[in-house]
Amino acid sequence: MAQKIKIIETPPGSAPEYIRKQWVGMEFTILAGMDDGSGLRTGIQNAGGYKVSTEVIREVIQKKGNKEFCNFWEPYLSASHFIFKKEVCKEL
């Protein structure tokens, strides 16, 4: 069974806070392995965190239905994955 996380606090990063706050409550299946620096770090503060594929992220944020949130992140979804700081996530 794939391991999942839930974002429980606003992740750090360079995006505006009102955008980053919208991650809270989202659940993602994570990729195996640790952050190797090859994906998109949603802020250097997330280094070493959980890796989530951009395919999974795209699916979840489209279901959320917030056009502004989706439009903000769309240009970044060409990366292989995003990194979410461990301290803002809960393992499910």
DSSP 9-48: SPPPSSS-HHHHGGGTT-EEEPPSS---S-SEESSGGGTT
Res. 35: pLDDT tops 60: no
Domain of 51 in residue numbering reads as: 4-91
- CB of 46 within 8 A of CB of 11? yes
What is the pLDDT, as a whole number, of residue 49? 87
Count of domains for the chain: 1
What is the pLDDT, as a whole number, of residue 79? 87
What is the pLDDT, as a whole number, of residue 72? 95
Q: What is the DSSP letter of 62?
A: H
pLDDT in tens, 47-69: 778 889 999 999 999 998 889 99
Res. 36: pLDDT tops 90: no
pTM of the predicted model, to two decimals? 0.85
Q: Which helix (H) or strand (E) holds 76?
A: none
What is the pLDDT, as a whole number, of residue 45? 82
d(CA 22, CA 25): 8
